Chains A and B, each alone.
Chain A
Amino acid sequence: MTMAPQTLAKAGEAAIPRRERRAALTLALPALIVLVFLYALPLARLLSLSFLGDAGFSLEAYGRILGDAYGRSLVWNSLRLGLITTAITLVVGYPAAFGLAMSKGALRSLFLASLFLPLAASVIAKAFAWTILLRSHGAVNDALLLLHITDKPIRMIFTQTSLIVGAANIFLPFMVLPIYAVVAQIDPRLTEAAATLGAPPVSAFLRVVVPLSLPGVVAGVALVFSLSVSAYVVPTLLMGENYQTLASAIAKAFLLVRDPALGSAAGAILIAIGLVVVVASNRLGRASGGR
């Protein structure tokens, strides 16, 4: 008899998670259907295509990319674009996130709007805007000529600089927002506590604020890297044929040369790179003690 209340309590405890699990599944169902039918299935088809040779299963398409200097340059160009864009957005975006977190009222609204509004514009529009700015008789060159800083137009469009500038600009919000979300949650009294324990401001920042901001940094890096490593519009419009990436190779394989195995393999390599980044950043996030 004395056991009865405990047994009841246990039964109750078990019942609640089961009910919760069912509720969770029900709520996630529409998204699951969309993911499975519109994403997972086509993805599986893509992967199976990449292993299709003349006589069934084959790694031939992968060999054509990874075994060939030009193919490897595609992988390297994609990685390079991702790494440089991530590095620049991190350096520019990290202090910006603090500025955003510290600002108040109208200034904060202005900062947030300048981050969010560009997201509403299409990537193509933004990339074209950069081509207008950077072309030989674009706004930037006209201004330089007018100010007599230069006497003939500087070649800016279709250079690596234009690519990096454009990519950093377009992907910056994806770095700032996750860092801002984390930094805004950091209790300002932690810095004060560090000060009363004898830590000068720089040391307090490095030993308290930076470690606590890492989960945001990890999220921002994962977002910007996976977006920029697979970017198609940005390198195509800002560099054209000079800078071939895995993304442009995919487009060409499907649209021009009708080589679905090659395009699928390039896609699979991009997905693999993305997976490595997501898993690694999750690990880093956990190791840095993200709350």
Chain B
Amino acid sequence: MGRSLEPDLTKVEIAPAHVAVTGLSKRFGASTVLDSIDLAVAPGALVTLLGPSGCGKTTLLRLIAGLATPDQGKVSIAGVDVTRTPPHKRNVGVVFQNYALFPHLSVAGNVGFGLKGRGLPRDAIAAKVARALDLVQMGPFRDRPVTALSGGQQQRVALARALAVEPKVLLFDEALSALDRNLRETMQVELRRLLKNLGVTAVFVTHDQDEALTMSDRIAVMNAGRIEQYADPQFVYARPVTLFTMRFVGICSELRGEVDDRSEGRVRVDTAIGPIVAVGEHQIGAKVVVATRPEHVAIGPAGSAPSVGEVNAVEGRIRQIIFHGSRARIAVDLGDEADFRVEVGGASRIPVVGEAVRLTWPAARSFAYPDPGPLP
């Protein structure tokens, strides 16, 4: 990784495996950490379990690795039920948070750990260790103690150690979160390319939505022990099926109200600042939250025509502008309880604070969800 040297893939024999989890539940005492989870990971796919801390994502990863046993349900890898198989017989590689490298061993000692346990001859181990270290471009460091490495280097060694045993599945537990921002972004891209080149099935656990969007073929958004949505990154971002996903993956602007009319796939919501049309199937009278992504909202001069059909329009006053260079985040006071967030490209005309504006956005880009009540 790092320098874009293409690894020699001909010598790595990883057969991508299908991972399936069915009806998996786990309780710790009185609290249910995982509640009947179903998840299928296609061979060679990169899947991210995304959610806030305590949502059960790490527990799910540990159950796949065999580091914990479920109360109910089944884990199968490559078509074999491994629910009761101990971790050392599963051939599942894990890259741990903070890496969990063996501090008493050198880089080569760490990478060769799994091979040595398999009774391979010394030179075969050395060759496989060299190959794994080359994959992550850590070849020159083979005799260093791991305690003398930087965080990014330790991360690579941890990856090489997991790859060296040619696992059926690779699991990453917040494996990038200890790196600083720039390095993390580079590693996301490099790691995805390497894993795609190797064709290995991988499951990541992260609370970082950018990491999930960048690295995954599919994202499983988790909340309170359940999977809220399992889809490809674009779909999860563009069409969140729950308000939790809407809020957790990216940011959104929200309005509250009551459904007062409905027609094929659309609801009209009576809000404090007027009627808003959104995608939804709710009954008339239902209390809902209408949410939309800030970048779908356009800013125009105040006093123009009211909303018609598929376009929502509201009026407000600019309260705050946060300029990020390539884009600007604008908070608009609509007279509602919270500010309405709008995002515009940095090159477009940015209004000034206090200016009266008219916001418009398509009904097809706003989504109505059952109102969960005020945030705790």
* A interface list, Cβ under 8 A from B: 187, 189-190, 192-201, 203-204, 207-208, 211-212, 288-289, 291
Contact = CB atoms under 8 A, between A and B. Distances in A.
B155 to A, nearest CB: 14
Contacts of B65: 192, 196
Contact of B96 (A193, A199, A288): A193
A200 B65 CA distance: 14
Nearest to B87: A195
B201 to A, nearest CB: 15
A80 B50 CA distance: 62
Interface in B148-191: 161-162, 165
Contact count band on B? 20 to 34
Interface in B255-305: none
Given A198-B88, A199-B88, A204-B88, 5 more contacts: A192-B100, A197-B88, A197-B93, A197-B117, A211-B104
Interface in B113-170: 113-114, 117-118, 145, 147, 161-162, 165
B92 interface: yes
B88 A196 contact: yes
Contact of A199 (B66, B67, B101, B113): B113
B100 A198 contact: no
A119 B113 CA distance: 42
Contacts, number: 73
B54 interface: no
Contacts of A190: 100, 102
Contacts of A195: 66-67, 86-88
Q: Which 5 A-B pairs have the closest CB atoms?
A: A197-B114, A195-B87, A189-B100, A193-B100, A289-B104
B65 to A, nearest CB: 6
A198 B65 CA distance: 11
A222 to B, nearest CB: 20
A195 to B, nearest CB: 4
B103 interface: yes
A194 B100 CA distance: 9
A192 B103 contact: no
Nearest to B112: A197
A196 B104 contact: no
Nearest to B158: A193
A289 B102 CA distance: 11
14 contacts: A189-B96, A193-B94, A193-B100, A193-B161, A195-B87, A196-B93, A196-B94, A197-B165, A198-B118, A200-B88, A208-B102, A208-B104, A211-B104, A289-B103
Contacts of A208: 102, 104
B91 interface: yes
A193 B98 CA distance: 12
The A interface is mostly helix, strand or loop, or mixed, namely helix
A200 B118 CA distance: 11
A39 to B, nearest CB: 36
Interface in B292-350: none
B144 to A, nearest CB: 13
A211 B114 CA distance: 17
Contacts of A196: 65-67, 87-88, 90, 92-94, 162
Contact of B67 (A192, A212, A291): A192
Contacts of A189: 96, 100
Given A212-B104, A288-B104, A198 B117 contact: yes
B96 A197 contact: no
A197 B86 CA distance: 12
A195 B88 CA distance: 5
Nearest to B173: A189
Contacts of A199: 88, 113-114, 117
Nearest to B103: A291
Contacts of A289: 103-104, 145
Contacts of B88: 194-201, 204
A208 B103 CA distance: 9
The winner among B65, B91, B117 for most chain A CB atoms within 10 A is B117
A192 B87 contact: yes
Given A192-B87, A192-B96, A197 B161 contact: yes
Nearest to A200: B88
B143 to A, nearest CB: 14
Given A288-B104, A291-B147, A194 B96 contact: no
Contacts of A203: 117
A199 B116 CA distance: 9
A197 B87 CA distance: 8
A197 B364 CA distance: 49
A222 B147 CA distance: 26
B113 A194 contact: yes
Contacts of A288: 104
A291 B104 CA distance: 8
